Amino acid sequence: MEKKALLVISFGTSYPETRKKTIEATEMRLKKAFPDHDFYRAFTSRMIINKLKKRDNEQVDIPRDVLKKLKEAGYTHVLCQTTHIINGHEYDITLKELKAFEKDFESLTLGRPLLTTVEDYEETVDIVMKQMPKLKKGEALVYMGHGSDHHANSTYPCLDYMFKMKGHEDVYVGTVEGFPELENIVPLLQEKKYKKIYLAPFMLVAGDHAINDMASDEEESWKTVLEDERFKVECILEGLGEYAGIQDMFLDHLKKAQAVAEM
Burial 52-76 (b: 16+ CB within 10 A, else e): beeeeeeebbbbeebbeebeeeebe
Q: Which of 84, 146, 168, 253 is catalytic?
A: 146
Whether the Cβ atoms of residue 104 and residue 71 lie closer than 8 Å to each other: yes
Burial (Cβ within 10 Å: 0-12, 13-18, ≥19) of residue 15: middle
To the question of whether residue 181 is assigned a binding role by annotation, the answer is: no
SS3 assignment, position 119: helix
Q: Indicate if 146 belongs to the active site.
A: yes
CA–CA separation, 14 vs 49, rounded Å?
A: 8
Residue type for position 53: K
Q: Is 173 helix (H, G, I), strand (E, B) or coil?
A: strand
168 in a known ligand binding site: no
Please answer whether residues 139 and 195 qualify as being in contact, where contact means their C-beta atoms are separated by less than 8 angstroms: yes
Residue 90 among known ligand-binding residues: no
6 sits in which H/E element: strand 4-10
Annotated binding site for Co(2+): 146, 177, 209
Active site residues: 146
